[in-house]
A = this chain, B = another copy of it.
Amino acid sequence: MTKFGTAAVAGSTRAFRVEGEAVALLPAADVGELLRSPALRDARGEPAAAPAPQELRPPVLKPGKVVCVGLNYRDHAREVGKSVPAYPTLFAKYPSAFVGASEPIRLPRADVSDRVDWEAELVLVIGTTVFEADAEQAAAAIFGYTAMNDVSMRDWQRRTEEWLQGKNFERSTPIGPVVVTADELSLDGGLDVDSWVGDRRVQSGSTDDLIFRPVEIVQYITQFMSLEPGDLIATGTPAGVGVSRTPAEFLEEGDILTTRITGIGELRNRCVREVSR
């Protein structure tokens, strides 16, 4: 299985490739650059040790677009009181929200938000420029998959009609650890999409329960806008979010949030509350 990622190396970042036990640092700053210059993916590179978890960075550092699909699992739509949607619900994330697979999640000061929730998600990584895609073109545009936790400030998400401000807190969204190529990871039979707060499993979903599946999502989006190499599409979260629990639960200082997807790997992020301005 081939995986690509981005690691902190010598004060900067480097893309790396993992094939079996062999790790190579590639001549690119991140996976985004690999996707824009495909020949680099096959470069021999420099043999290296596997990056330590704390060295992992968001695989694509500056995606042109991060498109998120909301309400895309039946059980999650139900738990938040919504019906199964006729169309994908789309909102945006900016890359300033991202942190790597083991970097701290920045909790805002408690007087800014104390309703910080989790949302484990499968993310599509786009590898080619695509517009008005048919099913075959949409499938071919999906270079690979990664994992994300769309950490959401529920109070800010619901302040207005638009969710954006609850989804874009600085350094709140872990993503990674790596991108697994689509030709080596089948969704047939479903991938588990799980999250834990500390030792307690809070989400236990399967991509089999997706309402809109990856190829359909790419087809839908490219009806109206183009996608380009390095663009990311977060496919939504299964049931088990904190705001829908009784009583509601939220992330607190020191919590370890773990996010795991079959075949992709694990994000493990400590929540650290900012205390000063």
- Among A95, A165, A224, A225: residue with most chain B CB under 10 A: A224
Cβ–Cβ contact A95 & B159, under 8 A: no
Given contacts A223-B112, A224-B108, A225-B94, contact A162 B70 (CB under 8 A): yes
- A160 at interface, CB cutoff 8 A: yes
- A64 at interface, CB cutoff 8 A: yes
Q: How far is the CA of A228 from the CA of B224 in the complex (A)?
A: 27
A159 closest partner in B (C-beta): B87
- A163 at interface, CB cutoff 8 A: yes
Instruction: Give every chain B residue within 8 A of A131 (Cβ-Cβ).
Output: 170
Cβ–Cβ contact A164 & B94, under 8 A: no
Instruction: Give every chain B residue within 8 A of A87 (Cβ-Cβ).
Output: 159-160, 165
- A92 at interface, CB cutoff 8 A: yes
- A161 at interface, CB cutoff 8 A: yes
A162 closest partner in B (C-beta): B91
Oligomer copy total = 2
Q: Which of B64, B90, B132 contacts A160 (CB 8 A)?
A: B90
A166 closest partner in B (C-beta): B224
Cβ–Cβ contact B162 & A225, under 8 A: no
Q: How far is the CA of A170 from the CA of B87 in the complex (A)?
A: 19
Q: How far is the CA of A159 from the CA of B165 in the complex (A)?
A: 20
The contact string, 1 if C-beta is below 8 Å from chain B, for chain A 73-90, is 000000000000111111
Residues of chain A whose beta carbon lies under 8 Å from any beta carbon of chain B: 62, 64-65, 67, 70, 85-92, 94-97, 108, 112, 131-132, 153, 156, 159-165, 168-170, 223-226, 228, 277
A and B contact pairs by CB, cutoff 8 A, 29 listed: A64-B94, A64-B95, A65-B94, A70-B160, A85-B160, A86-B159, A87-B159, A87-B160, A87-B165, A89-B160, A89-B161, A89-B162, A90-B165, A91-B91, A91-B92, A91-B162, A92-B92, A92-B164, A96-B225, A96-B228, A112-B223, A112-B224, A132-B277, A153-B224, A161-B161, A162-B162, A162-B163, A168-B224, A170-B226
